[in-house]
Structures are given as structure tokens and as C-alpha cells.
Amino acid sequence: MKKDSNDLPQINQPKHHHHHHHSKKRKIWTWVLGVLAFFIAVGAIGAIKIYTDTKSAVQSTYKAASHKNLRKGSSVSVTNGDPFSVMILGIDTGEYGRTYQGRSDTIMVAAVSKSKTTLVSVPRDTKVAISGHGSNNKINAAYAYGGISGAINTLQSYLDIPIDHYVKLNMRGLQQLSAAVGPIKVDNDLKFTNLGYHFKKGTVTINQSNILAYTRMRYQDPRGDYGRQLRQRIVLIALARKLVSIGNITKYKQILTTISSNMTTDLTFNELKALVTEYSGAAKSIKQVQLQGTGKEIDGVDYEVVSSENLTKVQNILKNALNE
């Protein structure tokens, strides 16, 4: 078998050439390993930086709520993957320069399990009793009267379920979140123009410029606030799905800044991490439910009055979702 010249013994070659050859190879490998070590170190530092920034941003949004615990001694653990409920409030501050406390323009309750999310929209004009304020109230006044705790206590009493957590986002935050996440496409079932933006029937693109015009319109919709609630749900779902699918790590800083500036929640950093690891199916399967009422004027005030049958139906949907 013929050997390659490089395989022949080196006894006939000068010793200094042998030393130079291996010294050069060692230098090359030292350089390669050094470069690899550098990139590994940079990557590790980057990962630590992302983790640290994420934790810092999430911790800045944390604010506990002192509401009644309806779990009757038991508790749910998000970190263990238990089904839980979360109240989602969209507050009418932040947009158009508003800075007052405001009312909860958007009210949703989500029952979240490992396999799915049940998302219920509650009309903001729903007639409810608010503790200390009588029986003729609009549900969006609960936040104005008692803040997050007041809103949770009122919803718990009305829906007959425990509210385990909350997320509050102001309207400016919705616009900034759209800017950070990027455009989304939604299926629009009504042609309309609002605030100078035209939305055709069919697939439309929602971005930071038109998101408020799309989600806030109600006067041109024959369904009134119910049509607006539908648009808010589909935009929220589309944003959430795009948010979890973003692969561009350079966007994380902008997203974190938006979240920390415009959102408060009582979900901890570890619980939010668990949402990613334990509830991956929740974002893939989302059931939308609308609490439906009938418009009625009482003492000169317009309310949405929900029948006991409709209320019981939605209560049972939420209870079943939390018992999965």
C-alpha cells in the first residue's frame, strides 16, 4: 500500500522543521479555541444579560393585590402547572394624553390550563352590585372605586369564581406593544373607517399606527360595544401568539421596556417563566366567550343587563375550565 508522503517517518528531515510544523499547528488550534471560547463567553454573557434584564423588567411590573381569597384554604400554583384564572384590564389612560386613574375600558377573565385558555369578555357597562356603592353600578366603575382589588372582588362575586391573578395594561401600552412586536394580521368581519384609518372586510394588518383606531371603534358597529370587545379579543390573541413566536432576540429590550412602563401584574418572575414552560398549549387553543346582556336604561343611566341564564352559562364555562 502506497503511503502518502505526509505519513512517512520524519527521520530524514531536519529537526528544526519538525518543531516549527507542530508549533505552528499548536498556535492555530490555540487561536481557534480562543475564538470559540470568546464567542461562547459572549453568548453566555448575552444570555445572562437577557435573563437579568427580563427579570428586572418583570419585577418592576409586580404589584400585589389585597383581595378576598375565594379558594377556601386551598391554593393554586402556576409554577406547578395548575389551572388558574387571571383578570385582564385595559385602562382608558395613557392614550391621547390621559393621565387620570380612569376606568377599565376592557375587562376580560381568562381561565388558563396547560392545554387551553378560555377567554371571557365582560361588557364594561354590565350592571352589577359594588360593595359600598349599591346595586346599580357599571362593572367598569369597580376599578375607579377600588383599584385592582376592588375590580377583582367585584368580578369574583359576579362570576362566582376565584380570581387568582391580574394583568393591567393601559392603552398607550397596547400601542407600544404593537410597535415592539410588529404588525399582525387579523380577520376583520366589518368594513369601517375610524380616526382616519380604513379597515376593509377580510384580512387586515394591524400595527402601532392603527391599533387604537381598530380596537376602540364601537359607534359604527351595529353590535356596539360587543363588536369592539370582539376586535379587542382577536387583537390580544394575535399579539400574544406573535409575542411567543418572536425569534429575533434584538427585539426583547423594546418589548421589556414597553411591559415595564405600561403593565402591572401580581404574577411573579418565576410564575411568568412557568407560563412558558408549563402552559405551552394554552396559547395554541383559545376559546372565546362573550358575556351577553341587553341594553336597558335605569334612572337615566344605560346599562347592559345580563340575564341569570346567560350569567350562569358563563359561570359554568369558567368553573369547568378551572377544574380541568
| Residue 48 forms part of a structural domain | no
How does pLDDT run across 161-174, given as a tens digit for each residue? 999 999 998 877 78
N- to C-terminal Cα separation, the chain: 72
**Does residue 317 fall inside a structural domain?**
yes
Q: What is the CATH number of the domain that holds 76?
A: 3.40.630.190
Q: Read off the pTM.
A: 0.74
Inside any domain, residue 190:
yes
- Predicted pLDDT of residue 213: 94
For residue 156, being part of any structural domain is answered with yes
Q: Is residue 257 part of a domain?
A: yes
Q: Does residue 11 lie in a domain region? A: no
The residue type at 194: N
In-domain check, residue 291:
yes
The structural domain count of the chain equals: 1
pLDDT at 261: 77
Structure confidence at residue 96 (pLDDT): 44
Asked if residues 67 and 163 have their Cβ atoms less than 8 Å apart, the reply is yes
Residue 31 domain-assigned (yes or no): no
The H-or-E segment that residue 186 falls in is strand 184-188
Residue whose C-alpha is closest to residue 250's, from 46, 36, 27, 2 = 46
| DSSP notation for 261-311 | HHEEES--HHHHHHHHHH-GGGTT-EEEEE---EEEEETTEEEEEPPHHHH
> 243: domain range?
62-322
Q: At what angle do helices 141-159 and 308-322 cross, to 10 degrees?
A: 80
Which residues of the chain fall below pLDDT 50? 1-18, 36, 38-46, 94-100
